[in-house]
Amino acid sequence: MTCFQLITAAGTAKSDYIEALNKAKEGDFEGAQASLDEGDKSYQEGHKVHSTLVQQEASGNPVKVGLLLIHVEDQMMAAEVFRQMVVEMIDLYKRLDGKTSDGQDK
Q: Which residues are catalytic?
A: 71
Q: How far apart are CA 80 and CA 83, in angstroms?
A: 5
Residue 74 assigned as binding residue: yes
- Counting other chains too, the contacts that 17-26 makes at CB distance below 8 Å and 24 or more residues apart are 17/79, 17/82, 17/83, 17/86, 18/86, 20/86, 20/90, 21/86, 21/89, 21/90, 24/89, 24/90, 24/93, 24/94, 25/93
Binding-site residues for Mg(2+) sit at 74
Binding-site residues sit at 74
